[in-house]
Amino acid sequence: VQDLYEPGSTFKPINLAVALQEKAIKANGRVADTGQLSIGGWPIFNHDKRANGLIDFPTVLQVSSNVGMVKAMAQVKRDRFWHWLHTLGIDSTPDTDLPGAQAGQLKTLEVFRTQPIEPATAAFGQGFNLTPLKLLQLHAMLSNGGKLVSPHITRGLRSGDDLAAVPPSTGLQLIRPEIAQTVLNWMETVVEKGSGKGTYIPGHRIGGKTGTAQKAENGVYIPGARITSFVA
Protein backbone atom coordinates (compact mmCIF):
# COMPACT_ATOMS: atom_id res chain seq x y z
CA VAL A 1 0.00 0.00 0.00
CA GLN A 2 2.79 2.42 0.91
CA ASP A 3 6.19 1.26 -0.34
CA LEU A 4 7.11 2.45 -3.82
CA TYR A 5 9.31 0.42 -6.17
CA GLU A 6 10.07 0.19 -9.86
CA PRO A 7 8.00 -2.73 -11.22
CA GLY A 8 10.46 -3.69 -13.95
CA SER A 9 9.32 -6.40 -16.35
CA THR A 10 6.04 -7.11 -14.50
CA PHE A 11 4.84 -3.90 -16.20
CA LYS A 12 5.52 -5.17 -19.73
CA PRO A 13 2.04 -6.71 -20.25
CA ILE A 14 0.41 -3.40 -19.26
CA ASN A 15 2.55 -1.53 -21.80
CA LEU A 16 1.77 -4.02 -24.58
CA ALA A 17 -1.97 -3.54 -23.87
CA VAL A 18 -1.44 0.22 -24.24
CA ALA A 19 0.45 -0.23 -27.53
CA LEU A 20 -2.34 -2.46 -28.90
CA GLN A 21 -5.02 0.00 -27.76
CA GLU A 22 -3.13 2.80 -29.54
CA LYS A 23 -2.92 0.62 -32.68
CA ALA A 24 0.87 1.19 -32.55
CA ILE A 25 1.54 -2.56 -32.81
CA LYS A 26 -0.44 -5.48 -34.25
CA ALA A 27 -1.25 -8.61 -32.21
CA ASN A 28 0.51 -10.78 -34.81
CA GLY A 29 3.45 -8.36 -35.18
CA ARG A 30 7.13 -9.04 -34.59
CA VAL A 31 10.17 -7.07 -33.39
CA ALA A 32 13.86 -7.53 -34.10
CA ASP A 33 15.60 -8.21 -30.79
CA THR A 34 19.27 -7.38 -31.30
CA GLY A 35 20.20 -7.95 -27.64
CA GLN A 36 21.23 -4.35 -27.07
CA LEU A 37 20.68 -0.86 -28.44
CA SER A 38 21.64 2.73 -27.69
CA ILE A 39 19.07 5.43 -26.86
CA GLY A 40 20.34 8.99 -26.62
CA GLY A 41 23.84 7.67 -25.87
CA TRP A 42 22.60 5.28 -23.14
CA PRO A 43 23.07 1.53 -23.67
CA ILE A 44 20.06 -0.76 -23.11
CA PHE A 45 20.54 -4.53 -22.77
CA ASN A 46 18.42 -7.59 -22.29
CA HIS A 47 18.85 -9.08 -18.80
CA ASP A 48 20.97 -11.92 -20.26
CA LYS A 49 22.51 -9.69 -22.99
CA ARG A 50 21.29 -12.25 -25.53
CA ALA A 51 19.84 -11.38 -28.94
CA ASN A 52 16.61 -13.29 -29.60
CA GLY A 53 16.24 -12.35 -33.28
CA LEU A 54 12.87 -11.64 -34.93
CA ILE A 55 10.27 -12.53 -32.27
CA ASP A 56 6.53 -12.16 -31.71
CA PHE A 57 5.02 -10.49 -28.63
CA PRO A 58 4.27 -13.67 -26.65
CA THR A 59 8.00 -14.46 -26.99
CA VAL A 60 8.90 -10.89 -25.92
CA LEU A 61 7.13 -11.68 -22.62
CA GLN A 62 8.44 -15.27 -22.35
CA VAL A 63 12.09 -14.22 -22.62
CA SER A 64 11.35 -10.80 -21.05
CA SER A 65 13.03 -8.88 -23.87
CA ASN A 66 13.88 -5.28 -22.93
CA VAL A 67 15.04 -4.50 -26.47
CA GLY A 68 11.80 -5.88 -27.90
CA MET A 69 9.76 -3.73 -25.52
CA VAL A 70 11.72 -0.56 -26.32
CA LYS A 71 11.13 -1.14 -30.05
CA ALA A 72 7.43 -1.89 -29.55
CA MET A 73 6.75 1.13 -27.33
CA ALA A 74 8.76 3.41 -29.64
CA GLN A 75 5.78 3.03 -32.01
CA VAL A 76 3.61 4.86 -29.43
CA LYS A 77 3.99 8.65 -29.58
CA ARG A 78 5.78 9.87 -26.44
CA ASP A 79 2.93 12.21 -25.47
CA ARG A 80 0.46 9.35 -25.75
CA PHE A 81 2.64 6.95 -23.76
CA TRP A 82 2.94 9.49 -20.92
CA HIS A 83 -0.78 10.23 -21.11
CA TRP A 84 -1.51 6.50 -20.67
CA LEU A 85 0.77 6.13 -17.63
CA HIS A 86 -1.00 9.15 -16.13
CA THR A 87 -4.50 7.84 -17.04
CA LEU A 88 -3.66 4.43 -15.53
CA GLY A 89 -3.05 6.35 -12.31
CA ILE A 90 0.69 5.79 -11.80
CA ASP A 91 1.02 9.24 -10.20
CA SER A 92 -2.30 9.30 -8.33
CA THR A 93 -3.41 7.71 -5.04
CA PRO A 94 -5.39 4.51 -5.59
CA ASP A 95 -9.06 4.71 -4.57
CA THR A 96 -9.04 2.11 -1.79
CA ASP A 97 -10.32 1.61 1.75
CA LEU A 98 -6.82 0.63 2.90
CA PRO A 99 -5.29 3.45 4.98
CA GLY A 100 -2.14 5.29 3.95
CA ALA A 101 -2.20 4.36 0.23
CA GLN A 102 0.52 6.19 -1.68
CA ALA A 103 0.63 7.64 -5.18
CA GLY A 104 3.50 6.51 -7.39
CA GLN A 105 6.00 8.81 -9.07
CA LEU A 106 6.09 9.62 -12.77
CA LYS A 107 8.46 12.00 -14.59
CA THR A 108 6.86 15.11 -16.08
CA LEU A 109 5.45 15.12 -19.61
CA GLU A 110 8.17 17.60 -20.61
CA VAL A 111 10.97 15.26 -19.45
CA PHE A 112 9.24 12.31 -21.16
CA ARG A 113 8.93 14.29 -24.37
CA THR A 114 12.47 15.71 -24.51
CA GLN A 115 14.59 12.87 -23.11
CA PRO A 116 14.32 9.72 -25.26
CA ILE A 117 15.80 7.53 -22.51
CA GLU A 118 12.67 8.09 -20.33
CA PRO A 119 10.06 6.41 -22.60
CA ALA A 120 12.68 3.75 -23.43
CA THR A 121 13.21 2.70 -19.79
CA ALA A 122 9.48 3.06 -19.04
CA ALA A 123 8.92 0.46 -21.81
CA PHE A 124 10.40 -2.18 -19.48
CA GLY A 125 9.05 -0.79 -16.21
CA GLN A 126 11.86 1.44 -14.96
CA GLY A 127 12.16 5.20 -14.41
CA PHE A 128 8.80 5.42 -12.60
CA ASN A 129 7.52 3.75 -9.45
CA LEU A 130 4.33 2.53 -7.83
CA THR A 131 3.07 0.37 -4.96
CA PRO A 132 2.47 -3.39 -5.34
CA LEU A 133 -1.24 -2.61 -4.80
CA LYS A 134 -1.24 -0.35 -7.88
CA LEU A 135 0.51 -2.99 -9.99
CA LEU A 136 -2.09 -5.57 -8.90
CA GLN A 137 -4.88 -3.16 -9.81
CA LEU A 138 -3.45 -2.78 -13.33
CA HIS A 139 -3.03 -6.55 -13.82
CA ALA A 140 -6.58 -7.04 -12.53
CA MET A 141 -7.63 -4.57 -15.25
CA LEU A 142 -6.46 -7.14 -17.83
CA SER A 143 -8.40 -9.89 -16.00
CA ASN A 144 -11.47 -7.62 -15.79
CA GLY A 145 -11.67 -7.24 -19.57
CA GLY A 146 -9.85 -3.90 -19.63
CA LYS A 147 -11.86 -2.35 -16.79
CA LEU A 148 -9.94 -0.51 -14.03
CA VAL A 149 -11.65 -1.35 -10.73
CA SER A 150 -10.87 0.22 -7.34
CA PRO A 151 -9.21 -2.30 -4.97
CA HIS A 152 -11.22 -2.80 -1.77
CA ILE A 153 -10.98 -5.27 1.10
CA THR A 154 -14.42 -4.61 2.67
CA ARG A 155 -17.71 -5.49 0.99
CA GLY A 156 -19.75 -3.19 3.18
CA LEU A 157 -20.41 -2.02 6.73
CA ARG A 158 -22.52 -4.09 9.12
CA SER A 159 -25.52 -2.53 10.86
CA GLY A 160 -26.92 -5.09 13.33
CA ASP A 161 -27.40 -8.27 11.31
CA ASP A 162 -27.61 -6.47 7.99
CA LEU A 163 -24.69 -5.88 5.67
CA ALA A 164 -24.85 -2.65 3.72
CA ALA A 165 -25.72 -3.21 0.07
CA VAL A 166 -22.74 -3.84 -2.16
CA PRO A 167 -22.11 -0.70 -4.26
CA PRO A 168 -22.43 -1.30 -8.00
CA SER A 169 -19.10 -2.32 -9.51
CA THR A 170 -18.52 0.52 -11.90
CA GLY A 171 -14.94 0.38 -13.07
CA LEU A 172 -13.43 2.48 -15.83
CA GLN A 173 -13.19 0.83 -19.26
CA LEU A 174 -9.70 1.79 -20.42
CA ILE A 175 -8.62 -1.11 -22.66
CA ARG A 176 -10.84 -2.90 -25.17
CA PRO A 177 -11.91 -6.36 -23.86
CA GLU A 178 -10.41 -8.23 -26.83
CA ILE A 179 -7.03 -6.53 -26.25
CA ALA A 180 -7.07 -7.43 -22.55
CA GLN A 181 -7.80 -11.06 -23.53
CA THR A 182 -4.97 -11.09 -26.09
CA VAL A 183 -2.44 -9.95 -23.47
CA LEU A 184 -3.79 -12.50 -20.94
CA ASN A 185 -3.26 -15.23 -23.56
CA TRP A 186 0.32 -14.02 -24.04
CA MET A 187 0.88 -14.09 -20.25
CA GLU A 188 -0.38 -17.67 -20.20
CA THR A 189 2.46 -18.67 -22.53
CA VAL A 190 4.95 -17.18 -20.02
CA VAL A 191 3.79 -19.79 -17.48
CA GLU A 192 3.57 -22.60 -20.06
CA LYS A 193 7.00 -22.17 -21.60
CA GLY A 194 8.65 -18.92 -20.46
CA SER A 195 10.22 -17.46 -17.32
CA GLY A 196 7.13 -18.28 -15.20
CA LYS A 197 7.24 -22.09 -15.62
CA GLY A 198 7.67 -22.53 -11.85
CA THR A 199 4.01 -21.57 -11.27
CA TYR A 200 2.50 -24.00 -13.77
CA ILE A 201 -0.27 -26.11 -12.16
CA PRO A 202 -1.71 -28.94 -14.29
CA GLY A 203 -5.41 -28.43 -15.02
CA HIS A 204 -5.31 -24.68 -14.35
CA ARG A 205 -4.86 -21.77 -16.74
CA ILE A 206 -2.44 -19.28 -15.22
CA GLY A 207 -1.05 -16.14 -16.83
CA GLY A 208 1.92 -14.42 -15.23
CA LYS A 209 4.98 -12.22 -15.65
CA THR A 210 8.31 -12.22 -13.88
CA GLY A 211 10.15 -9.00 -13.10
CA THR A 212 13.55 -7.87 -11.94
CA ALA A 213 14.17 -4.18 -11.25
CA GLN A 214 17.18 -2.27 -10.02
CA LYS A 215 16.93 -0.79 -6.52
CA ALA A 216 17.34 2.98 -6.38
CA GLU A 217 18.51 5.09 -3.45
CA ASN A 218 18.60 8.90 -3.54
CA GLY A 219 17.98 8.86 -7.29
CA VAL A 220 20.87 6.48 -8.10
CA TYR A 221 20.71 2.74 -8.78
CA ILE A 222 22.56 0.63 -6.20
CA PRO A 223 25.05 -1.70 -7.97
CA GLY A 224 23.93 -5.34 -7.78
CA ALA A 225 20.76 -4.60 -5.75
CA ARG A 226 17.59 -6.08 -7.23
CA ILE A 227 13.91 -6.48 -6.47
CA THR A 228 12.49 -9.63 -8.07
CA SER A 229 8.76 -10.13 -8.33
CA PHE A 230 6.06 -12.14 -10.04
CA VAL A 231 2.47 -11.24 -10.87
CA ALA A 232 -0.01 -13.91 -11.93
Please, is 99 exposed, middle or buried when counting C-beta atoms within 10 Å of its C-beta (0-12, 13-18, 19+)?
Answer: exposed
Q: What are phi and psi of 12, to 5 degrees?
A: -60, -45
DSSP string, 9-56: GGGHHHHHHHHHHTTSS-TT-EEEE-SEEEETTEEEE-TT----EEEE
Based on the residue annotation, tell me whether 92 is a catalytic residue of this protein.
no
Catalytic residue among 9, 64, 65, 195: 9
Distance separating alpha carbons of residues 9 and 64, to the nearest angstrom: 7
Distance separating alpha carbons of residues 47 and 165, to the nearest angstrom: 49
In terms of DSSP bridges, do strands 36-39 and 53-56 run parallel, antiparallel, or are they unpaired?
unpaired
Catalytic residues: 9
